[in-house]
Amino acid sequence: MKTICQVCMHHCALEPGQTGLCRARKNEGGEIVCANYGQITSLALDPIEKKPLHDFHPGSMVLSVGSFGCNLRCPFCQNHEISMADNRSLDAEHVSPEQLTDLALMWKERKEAGNIGVAYTYNEPLVGWEFVRETARLVREYGMVNVLVTNGTASQEVLEELLPWIDAMNIDLKGFREDYYRKLGGNLETVKAFIARAQESCHVELTTLIVPDENDSPEDMEAQAEWIADLRPSIPLHITRFFPRYHMMDREATDVEQLYRLAGIAGKYLEKVYVGNV
């Protein structure tokens, strides 16, 4: 008997033993479980600006952790080795929430490291939201912060489970046309609803990767910036430069002048617009 996963807009109907599109959620005995729980593929102490978060504890470091799996299929993914993989194709190490919290605390106590907490990043953390929730609770208990770097394509129910424990998010707003999101395997309205709710409860910054001939029109940016401003004009927007990656090795990097033109358009509506990867 099939069971429907409720984590994102795909609503994968899974037979027992079957794994969803994200490769991280599985039907075990009629119950959808987190197959990547505690399976860590990436771990690094990063500058907070690398998330990117510009206006949240600037100058700090954050212990950044990733697993495997993603519910989108972006052809330009820079972390496709883990986001498009599963546990059969990766050498992941199991780390419990307690172990990860202890590691974050160790780097916090080493004053020269400047660690402020844990960032859930690299792959899509929301496909393994249970691990994020359990770890984030412990991290908060020890006086540290939690940062979520996400594509925002999760249900409101998952978001509500995490909001009490998350201090800051960087959310990818990949474009502002539904047809573009469909090409990536996503849904624009899901992301808009996610952003609208998240910014009510924690610090939120947005990132849009500008891909030539895909989401680089002035009209798209104007509509996007106007929508963000309607939520709150002080939400920071990062406009970043595309470089050839994964299945898009045939494209040129984004023209830098075009990035600044789009930033100028966004700046008519938003108080904080940052250009990245130039």
What are 243-264's pLDDT values in tens digits? 998 998 988 999 999 999 999 9
Residue 21 CB: number of other CB atoms within 10 A?
Answer: 18
Q: Are 5 and 20 in contact (CB under 8 A)?
A: yes
Residue 142: per-residue pLDDT: 96
Alpha-carbon distance 143 to 182, whole Å?
40
Exposed e or buried b per residue across 216-255, where buried means at least 16 C-beta atoms within 10 angstroms of its C-beta:
beeebbbebbbebbeeeeebbbbbbbbeebeebeebeebe
pLDDT band at 17 (very low <50, low <70, confident <90, very high): very high
Residue 1 above 90 pLDDT? no
Domains of the chain: residue spans and CATH: 3-276 (3.20.20.70)
Q: Write out the two tokens for 100.
A: 């990860």
Q: Write out the two tokens for 214.
A: 């895909």
Phi then psi dihedrals of residue 165, to 5 deg: -115, -5
DSSP state of 253: P
Q: Which of 184, 211, 181, 275 is nearest to 237 (CA)?
A: 275
What are 62-121's pLDDT values in tens digits? 999 999 999 999 999 988 888 887 767 678 899 999 999 999 999 999 978 889 999 999
Query: What pTM, to 2 d.p., does this model score?
Result: 0.96
Residue 278: per-residue pLDDT: 87
Share of the chain above pLDDT 90, in %: 89
Q: Which of 184, 186, 246 is nearest to 214 (CA)?
A: 184
Pairing status of strand 39-40 against strand 203-210: unpaired
Q: Are 147 and 62 in contact (CB under 8 A)?
A: yes
Residue 89: per-residue pLDDT: 67
Residue 79: per-residue pLDDT: 85
Cross-strand bridge partners of residue 47: 61
Residue 170 above 90 pLDDT? yes
Q: Write out the two tokens for 66.
A: 């990733």
What are 195-228's pLDDT values in tens digits? 999 999 999 999 999 999 999 999 999 999 999 9
Select the more confidently predicted residue: 78 or 166.
166
Residue 45: per-residue pLDDT: 97
Alpha-carbon distance 127 to 32, whole Å?
11
- The whole-chain average pLDDT of the chain stands at 95
Residue 84: per-residue pLDDT: 80
Alpha-carbon distance 19 to 10, whole Å?
13
